[in-house]
């Protein structure tokens, strides 16, 4: 980092009444500009900006929260709902009788790397970081994805059953990464969270001795065939994992059938993977995983198939879910966002939903900075915040019920990652300064996670004319309406929101901004 990028420190007032830039209060963003287009907010043990808990004003008033490339971060506004139209050329009308899916939740992954980074901070700063995601004043994360044993975001290669030939899994043991790092942090997050966290487990690779390759990495599948001893042992491994975590009072909402099964079919794949075709995944569920979970104390654990890129849909889902012997054990379909540009949402997510409406779609992984053309951490990139919001809105508008980010925290280099597959994260930790930076992507996720409570129902939005605004609307269980709007465009058009029965809300989505508008209806 050169001197030129060090540093404009700007304090951005979040008060909508003062208007000026004065006096950083306890809730204000300590903005730092690293020269990537926008700012990050710096936090330490005693100071961090916070949106606080959001109490809705009475019917007839609305709240708005704005984040922008110019530097606003969840800046709160409040106003009165009008009885008459403002005459704006663009009107977004909420259509409550068009009802779609219900929201499960939003979150991120407690990888080994995330845990290492969080624990590299002082105790007070660790707590501050966890509060940002999980506490009532934070952004209401309710989903935590937990890798089962090592993945690329680990510092070594391991599984929980590395003694060769241990088909009965007598030597199954959690790693120190689990018992000393991830579990204590998840327990702290759970203690801070006002709601039970929904834990989601994904495995990258089976033990090497169960695999055709004899290795955790590269192309390889389980030896033998579904119903055979390796496939049975691999299903038993899931039950053992759930048993071990239960000893720490952590129970899982869901398990996936394995992270990115297509990776394990690729020659020389550089990190942990386990190959399945849709056919072998289907048959493993029928003969091994389904019966093993069903017969265990974890029969209520949701089973999510795919856990891989949406370009594999609808084919993957058709192969697995068309067989009722597999389908009866399955609840949902997990998608990753990589390569989304290659396949339109309607063709993949939309088609899958229309063929199998009773299975939920769920975003299980996404991150910025993964592409070789745009690699690693970029402190303050607004484009990446837009990429998140665009993808979340597109997913939500195609029946997806939640969205899980990748690593909850990474270091300044986007790691650690044993295979140097460095990427970006919404929270970047600077261990030396004992601070962390909340990236624009943190706020982008917050525009959804903070406001779309579990059980929120997506409803229709109709636009009076074509516009560049992207949006998605919801009615929450408490009756409040939430509209999230992304403006990536360069055109200037003020607009209004119409909610029949309540009235008109005049709005102006600032340049390059994300806006959440919320109002009570009862
Ligand atoms: C934390 O940050 C605040 C705001 O910049 C600063 O006033 C305070 O001294 C910092 N605390 C520590 C322990 O560095
Ligand atoms: C709303 O429109 C009606 C009909 O045009 C008009 O009579 C009324 O005065 C308007 N109300 C306000 C508050 O402007
Ligand atoms: C379990 O581990 C111990 C110690 O490494 C080893 O002696 C034993 O053979 C292992 N058991 C199995 C079933 O692999
Ligand atoms: C286990 O977790 C539940 C729900 O999170 C909590 O109510 C209970 O107190 C916990 N029990 C222990 C022993 O920590
Ligand atoms: C895979 O790795 C081997 C050994 O390093 C190499 O010989 C081979 O060319 C690689 N194959 C591909 C398709 O990259
Ligand atoms: C969207 O952003 C552009 C600039 O990028 C701005 O001119 C325009 O006013 C914004 N759109 C709306 C609807 O406010």
Structure tokens at 397: 């508008």
What number of other Cβ atoms are within 10 A of residue 111's Cβ?
27
Q: Write out the DSSP string of 62-122.
A: EEEEEEETTS--SEEEEEEPBSS----SEEEEEEEEEEEEEP-EEEEE--HHHHHHHHTS-
Give the separation between CA 437 and CA 354, rounded to whole angstroms. 41
Query: Is any atom of ligand 6 closer than 6 Å to the C-beta of 68?
Result: no
**Percent of the chain predicted with pLDDT > 70:** 95
Answer for the pair 472, 92: CB distance below 8 angstroms, yes or no.
no
Q: How far is the CA of 370 from the centre of ligand 6 (A)?
A: 29
Closest CA to 366 of 417, 448, 309: 309
User: In this predicted model, what pLDDT tens digit does every residue of 189-241 receive, in sequence order?
Assistant: 999 999 999 999 999 999 999 999 999 999 999 999 999 999 999 999 999 99
pLDDT computed for residue 26 by the predictor: 59
Concatenating the DSSP letter of every residue in 333-350 gives EEEE-TTGGGS-HIIIII
For the CA of 218, the nearest ligand = 5
| Two structure tokens written together for 318 | 């058709």
Residue from 27, 42, 47 whose mutation best tests the ligand 1 pocket (most atoms within 8 A of CB)? 47
- pTM for the whole thing? 0.93
Q: Which residue has the tokens 């654990």?
A: 301
**Ligand 6: which of 92, 382, 390, 490 to mutate, most ligand atoms within 8 Å of CB?**
490
Distance 171 CA to ligand 3 centre (A): 6
In this prediction, residue 25 has a pLDDT band, given cuts at 50, 70 and 90, of low
Alpha helices in 256-381 (DSSP H): 278-284, 290-294, 315-321, 324-327, 345, 351-355
Q: How far apart, in whole angstroms, are the C-alpha atoms of residue 12 and residue 358? A: 46
Q: What is the pLDDT of residue 511?
A: 87
Map out the domains of the chain with their CATH numbers. Answer: 3-40+62-101+457-519 (2.60.40.1180), 104-449 (3.20.20.80)
SS (H, E, C) 20-48: CCCCCCCCCEEEEECCCECEEEEECCCCC
Active site residue 394: no
Residue of 177, 260, 454, 470 marked catalytic: 260
Average pLDDT value for residue range 64-86:
96
Ligand 3 mutation pick, 165, 166, 169, 171, max ligand atoms within 8 A of CB? 171
Instruction: Tell me the pLDDT band of 83, cut-offs 50, 70 and 90.
Output: very high
Question: Mind listing the pLDDT tens digit for each residue in 165-200?
Answer: 999 999 999 999 999 999 999 999 999 999 999 999
Q: How far apart are the first and last CA of the chain?
A: 52
Of 34, 6, 43, nearest to 438 by C-alpha is 43
Active-site hit among 42, 177, 230, 365: 365
- 267 CA: nearest ligand 5 atom: 13
Spatial neighbors of 387 by CB under 8 A, at least 6 apart, are 368
């Amino acid at each position: 980092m050169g001197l030129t990028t060090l540093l404009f420190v700007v304090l951005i007032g979040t008060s909508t009444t003062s208007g000026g830039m004065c006096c950083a209060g306890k809730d204000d963003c300590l903005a730092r500009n690293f020269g990537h287009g926008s700012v990050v907010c710096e936090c330490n043990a005693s100071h961090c900006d916070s949106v606080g808990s959001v109490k809705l004003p009475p019917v007839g008033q609305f709240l708005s929260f704005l984040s922008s490339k110019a530097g606003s971060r969840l800046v709160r506004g409040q106003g009165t709902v009008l009885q008459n139209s403002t005459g704006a050329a663009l009107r977004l009308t909420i259509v409550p009788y068009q009802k779609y899916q219900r929201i499960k939740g939003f979150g991120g992954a407690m990888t080994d790397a995330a845990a290492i980074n969080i624990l590299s901070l002082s105790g007070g700063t660790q707590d501050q970081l966890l509060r940002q995601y999980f506490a009532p004043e934070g952004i209401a994360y309710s989903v935590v994805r937990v890798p089962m044993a090592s993945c690329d975001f680990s510092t070594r290669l391991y599984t929980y059953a590395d003694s060769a030939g241990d088909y009965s899994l007598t030597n199954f043991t959690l790693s120190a990464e689990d018992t000393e790092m991830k579990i204590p942090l998840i327990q702290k997050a759970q203690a801070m969270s006002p709601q039970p966290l929904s834990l989601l487990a994904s495995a990258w690779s089976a033990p090497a001795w169960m695999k055709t390759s004899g290795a955790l990495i590269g192309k390889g599948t389980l030896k033998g065939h579904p119903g055979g001893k390796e496939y049975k042992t691999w299903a038993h491994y899931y039950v053992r994992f759930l048993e071990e975590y239960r000893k720490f009072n952590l129970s899982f909402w869901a398990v996936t059938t394995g992270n990115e099964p297509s990776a394990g079919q690729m020659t020389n794949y550089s990190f942990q993977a386990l190959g399945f075709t849709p056919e072998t995944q289907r048959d493993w569920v029928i003969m091994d995983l389904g019966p093993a979970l069903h017969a265990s104390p974890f029969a209520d654990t949701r089973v999510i198939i795919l856990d891989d890129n949406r370009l594999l849909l609808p084919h993957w889902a058709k192969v697995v879910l068309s067989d009722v012997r597999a389908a009866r054990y399955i609840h949902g379909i997990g998608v990753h966002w990589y390569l989304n540009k290659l396949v339109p949402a309607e063709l993949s997510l939309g088609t899958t939903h229309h063929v199998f409406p009773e299975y939920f779609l769920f975003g299980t992984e996404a991150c910025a900075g993964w592409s070789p053309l745009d690699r690693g951490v970029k402190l303050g990139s607004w484009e990446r915040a837009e990429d998140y919001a665009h993808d979340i809105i597109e997913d939500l508008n195609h029946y997806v019920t939640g969205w899980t980010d990748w690593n909850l925290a990474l270091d300044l280099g986007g790691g650690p990652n044993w295979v140097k597959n460095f990427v970006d994260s919404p929270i970047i930790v600077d261990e030396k300064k004992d601070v962390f930076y909340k990236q624009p992507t943190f706020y982008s996720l917050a525009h959804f996670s903070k406001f779309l409570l579990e059980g929120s129902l997506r409803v229709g939005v109709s636009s009076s004319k074509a516009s560049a605004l992207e949006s998605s609307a919801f009615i929450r269980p408490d009756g409040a309406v939430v509209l999230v709007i992304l403006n990536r465009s360069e055109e200037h058009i003020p607009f209004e929101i119409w909610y029949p029965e309540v009235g008109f809300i005049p709005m102006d989505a600032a340049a390059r901004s994300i806006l959440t508008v919320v109002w009570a209806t009862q």
